[in-house]
Chains A and B, each alone.
Chain A
Amino acid sequence: MNFPENLRYTKTHEWIAVQGAKAKVGVTEYAQKEISDVVFVELPKAGQAVQQAKMAAVVESVKAAFDIYAPVSGKITDANKALEANPGLINQSPYADGWIFELEISNPAEVNTLMTAAQYHEAVQQAPKH
């Protein structure tokens, strides 16, 4: 499985790509596999405040709904409208076209609490299989 080096990861399987004061957020390849076919994404609204480890979006499959947590605190600046017509982008391209939302980081120190690609890789290996 692919876990790009330049990203940071949460233990709840979100990735974050920091670009200066802003960051893009999505779910990892591991997550999209667990979720299976995404049928709908409930995107956050621009201007919405989010907190680290609190729910920011919801991804639905046929069988279940999965809460997507903000990796860091901040304010939503954009959401990936392409997911409205094509939620499957999350499965096809979880790190690029399947990004979910973008936010303005309020507390940059929080980024350092997140896992590196190597740490995330390790955590996923150890996750119980079912």
Chain B
Amino acid sequence: MPYLSLTEEEKKAMLGSVGVRSFDELISDIPVSLRDPKIDLPSSLSEPEVQALISKLGRKNTSTKDALSFLGAGSYEHFIPAAAIEIVGRQEFLTAYTPYQPEASQGTLQAIYEYQSLMTELTGLDVSNASHYDGATSLAEAALVALKTTDCAKILVARSLHPHYRETIRTYLAGTPYKVEDLGFDAHGNFNLEELVKKLDASVAGVIFQTPNFFGNIENLEGVSERIHANGSLMILTGDPLSFGLFKSPGEWGADIAAGEGQSLGLSMSFGGPYLGYFVTSQALMRRIPGRLAGLTQDADGKRAFCLTLQAREQHIRRERAGSNICSNQALCALAACAYMTLLGKKGIREIAEINWDRASYLKSQISSLKNFEVDPTPTIFNEFRVKSKKPFARIEEKLMAQGIFPGVSLESFYPELKDQFLVCATETKSKEDLDRFVEALAQC
């Protein structure tokens, strides 16, 4: 058995030291009827066999490196600097435990602290936690914070939020006395201010918008936070943090909480996870933040030191009084984002956003000129946009997949009213040739 060093000889000797003759004496508390269950598993494989199996299974996949992919919708293909991969691969980061013993974990703690610092800069808000499981759960937690802070019972959620976010929020709030109500979108896919104003009443704890939203639109939230605050509610914003390098940040929009998905900050798509939920708030909400926080302090010798702080709010201390039950964060993913953001630096974080906007803008204008496709020119986009196909999208998808192109995510399965519409994403990973090849293939449809 690999990874064990226990030999038969040692086993005998240790059983002797323990003072028993056979191993079964050590498990005598287990009722006999429960013991030795019939477990139907294949036999153990050696390492070469495991590697061969993994490779074989891998060959049954067509990844976004094998095909030309324009899939987005919440998970993005981005360039990851090699140095970031090396940093995250360090065993001392990878195989460390949660930093409950600060003296043994200054590496992890400082990395988390730097991640928190970078997130406050990027989002323009004041306090970041050490991360959540993903954007959806982070938003659900944000909703809970708003509900508990304001003592109101309703959350307004824009329908232009990622459907998985909306569903997760609903799952979390089901069976509680809290309610979720939708805010619709207009023909361009943008939120409707009149509808918001109408629905803002004394029962609203918070309002959640996404920008860029699920359709790729940058929302114009001018004056919105003022209205929401005048109503005594909180404004929660979610969105691809890479877009904040170019577009107005949640802090600038007046948000109280920025909570969402940080996968585009240096994490591979990996079929959906592990990802990174960011959670950043204004100073006023600091004591309400769920999850872990790394803080700066001094040690007994007056030296700078990092430690986990504000833990009394957390599950292992408050128990049933805890605001949330989150235990683990996504420390390694936060480290990956920290390395990514540091490597991009002040100039790079702006440039990468510009490049994404440039690639998508080029693609959008090219597709706009095709006669079988319609693209709405009105919305400002980041790196995704909606395309309406005049022919059934299923056919388009079939044709393009046969040429090794993933054309985009169908919107109809999420929004039945958006027939034959799909979401196209173009990041910095697409060359001009890639984009032209895609357009050419669409033109043939």
Point out residues on A near B: beta carbons under 8 Å.
Answer: 39-40, 42, 58, 60-65, 67
Contact = CB atoms under 8 A, between A and B. Distances in A.
B303 interface: no
B284 interface: no
B330 to A, nearest CB: 24
Interface in B217-263: none
Contacts of A40: 287, 310, 312
15 contacts: A40-B287, A42-B287, A60-B312, A60-B313, A61-B312, A62-B311, A63-B312, A63-B317, A64-B312, A64-B317, A65-B312, A65-B313, A65-B317, A65-B318, A65-B321
A63 B312 CA distance: 6
Contacts of B311: 62
Nearest to A60: B312
Contacts of A64: 312, 317
Q: Which of B287, B312, B313, B321 has the most C-beta atoms of chain A within 10 angstroms of its own C-beta?
A: B312
Nearest to A67: B321
List the 3 shortest-distance A-B pairs measured between CB atoms, nearest first: A60-B312, A65-B312, A65-B318
Contact of A39 (B312, B318, B321): B312
Nearest to B312: A60
A63 B310 CA distance: 9
A89 B317 CA distance: 23
Interface in B302-317: 310-313, 317
A40 B286 CA distance: 12
A61 B312 CA distance: 7
Nearest to A61: B312
A74 to B, nearest CB: 20
Contacts of B317: 63-65
Contacts of B287: 40, 42
A63 to B, nearest CB: 7
A67 B321 CA distance: 9
Contacts of A42: 287
A40 B318 CA distance: 14
Given A61-B312, A65-B318, 13 more contacts: A42-B287, A58-B321, A60-B312, A60-B313, A62-B311, A62-B312, A63-B317, A64-B312, A65-B312, A65-B313, A65-B317, A65-B321, A67-B321
Contacts of A60: 312-313
B51 to A, nearest CB: 47
B100 to A, nearest CB: 12
Contacts of A39: 312
A60 B321 CA distance: 12
Contacts of B318: 65
B235 to A, nearest CB: 22
A40 B295 CA distance: 15
**Which of A39, A42, A60, A63 gathers most chain B CB within 10 Å?**
A60
A58 B312 CA distance: 11
Contacts of B321: 58, 65, 67
Contacts of B310: 40
Nearest to A39: B312
A61 B318 CA distance: 11
B132 to A, nearest CB: 21
A39 B318 CA distance: 14
A31 B321 CA distance: 20
Interface string B296-338: 0000000000000011110001100100000000000000000
A70 B279 CA distance: 34
A39 B312 CA distance: 9
A65 B318 CA distance: 6
Contacts of A65: 312-313, 317-318, 321
